[in-house]
Amino acid sequence: MAAAQGQLSDGADGMDDDVAGDSAPLPFRKAVEALRTARLRPEVEIEATRPPQRLAPHTFALEAVVLDGEEELADGRLVLLHDPAGHEAWQGSFRLVTLVRAELEPEIATDPLLPEVSWSWLTGALEARGLAFEEASGTVTRAGSHYFGGLADRVPTTQIEIRASWTPREGLGGVPDTAGHLAAWCDLLCQIGGLPPVGAADAGVVSLPLPQRRGPQPH
């Protein structure tokens, strides 16, 4: 994807003007602007993308990939939803929805604790940055591929996928700390991709357990 490292690009085909223009509520516009100006890890390439249209009255979406040189370690999508009238299931007027995925090392893929640990990385990334959130829910899926026939020379692969959503706590003016939630989400992407965490002095992040090589590793 054509994106900027460590910062959000301007989006594609002017879509930002459509989803967060002057007609959108002020809290939503401020939340989107915070996403645009968030300071992120340099390993993350990120850009705005066309959001889903039917999940909420106002939506904004972005895509990201974690790179180690030319190698893609993990990728994901984050969607910001806003309903000014509030949503009973959300317990608020904003909701964040995500999909993240990465390929696993063979010795990690069979660990029975992998789903529980992977989910704890999501909540841990948010908590490590001091972010308040509610109504977190989601799934962790581990899928393996084995190759046959003309593809039999390929090594079997296993991918982990986290689908989740949560309600960010709203602050002054009814605006959540979307920049903080985006940074935490990028921490999760880097973690599931197998990168070391940033230092506590740099971003206030508590180190979470992960391998030195590509892919998550539960303990």
Tell if the pTM clears 0.85, that is, is over it: no
> What is the structure's pLDDT at 199?
54
Instruction: Flag whether pLDDT at 3 surpasses 70.
Output: no
70-127: pLDDT as tens digits: 899 999 999 999 999 988 899 999 999 999 999 887 667 677 788 898 899 999 999 9
8-40: pLDDT as tens digits: 554 443 344 445 556 889 999 999 999 998 989
- 3-state SS of the chain? CCCEECCECCCCCCHHHHHCCCCCCHHHHHHHHHHHHCCCCCCEEEEEECCCCCCCCEEEEEEEEEEECCEEEEEEEEEEEEEEEEECCCCEEEEEEEEEEEECCHHHHCCCCHHHHHHHHHHHHHHHCCCCEEEEEEEEEEEEECCCHHHCCCCCEEEEEEEEEEEECECHHHCECHHHHHHHHHHHHHHHCCCCCCCHHHHCCCCCCCCCCCCCCCC
Q: What is the largest CA-CA distance in the chain?
A: 60
> What is the structure's pLDDT at 19?
55
> What is the structure's pLDDT at 117?
87
